[in-house]
Amino acid sequence: LGTLPGHLYANVRQPPISTLNLAHMIPLSAVWAGPERDEHFQAPPLLHGRTEGSTPFRLSLHLGDVGHTLVVGPTGAGKSVLLALLALQFRRYEGNQVFAFDFGGSIRVASLGMGGDWHDLGGELTDGTETSVSLQPLAGIYHTPERAWAADWIVAILTREGVTITPEVKEHLWTALTSLASAPIEERTITGLTVLLQSNDLKRALQPYCVGGPYGRLLDAEAESLGQA
């Protein structure tokens, strides 16, 4: 079992030691095999891994009903590959649904291989040759809570564009949204909102988010399109 440094004659009197105490002192170690089941889903673990020995490793991300996970590593270590593997393995659970925001198309192959949809939101990887996502964030403003959310969202955009938000600006915005709420659903777009705004400064601030602007193809659609998967 070894001795303390400088203690040459350990256990000289050789007192009796129980098997339980002996087991506590023996420097044994073993690979943690992980939980046998995912208790949250009441199903098998997310994946099985191989260790240096003969003990398999069972990975389950859930602790109770929380599955938060942080993956850290240097560039090229395989973080994106691991995340794609976790997403693919998650498909084993009933009622599963996966949404992923990747960088550089790192999960594109996995998404398409599983029959999913992959969209190049920035247009840098496909040069706009593929059908992109089309969003209509103002479609539901006929509902008052949704209109309140839309007002806060537009205020955040205006703040980003350097517009000073005053009570007058909020009043202009709410009046325009209220008028737009009674329009047909296909007209409830950011372009439709700018038509109803009475301030030229607000119109110019929202111009990048209208059709023809850098973000218009994503946020100024007449109907939403998120793929078929």
Closest CA to 78 of 46, 120, 106: 106
Closest CA to 57 of 77, 35, 90: 35
Report the predicted TM-score, pTM, of the whole model to 2 decimal places: 0.66
Q: pLDDT for 64-119, tens place per residue?
A: 889 899 999 999 999 999 999 999 999 999 999 999 999 888 999 999 999 998 88
Please provide the size of the chain in residues: 229
Instruction: Out of 40-49, 125-134, 169-178, 187-196, pick the least confident.
Output: 125-134
- How much is the average pLDDT of 124-139? 75
Residue 4 confidence (pLDDT) above 70: no
Can you say whether the dihedral through the CA atoms of 107, 112, 115, 117 is positive or negative? Answer: positive
Tokens 């291989």 — which residue? 113
Distance between CA atoms of residues 85 and 82, nearest Å: 5
Q: pLDDT for 17-46, tens place per residue?
A: 788 888 888 877 777 899 999 999 999 999
Residue 11 confidence (pLDDT) above 70: no
Alpha carbon separation from 159 to 75, 100, 149, 170 (Å, rounded)? 35, 28, 15, 12
Is-contact 215 209, C-beta < 8 A?
Answer: yes
Tokens 């929380």 — which residue? 66
Residue 166 confidence (pLDDT) above 90: yes
* Beta bridge partners of residue 58, listed in sequence order: 48
Can you say whether the dihedral through the CA atoms of 133, 137, 139, 140 is positive or negative? Answer: positive
- Rounded to a whole number of angstroms, the CA Rg of the chain reads 29
Angle between helices 167-181 and 144-160 (to 10 degrees): 130
Q: CA angle, corner 133, sides to 131 and 138, nearest 5?
A: 140
- How much is the average pLDDT of 55-69? 91
Contacts of 55 (CB under 8 A, 6+ apart): 30, 31, 33
Q: Quote the mean pLDDT of the chain.
A: 87
Distance between CA atoms of residues 38 and 67, nearest Å: 11
* Beta bridge partners of residue 66, listed in sequence order: 63
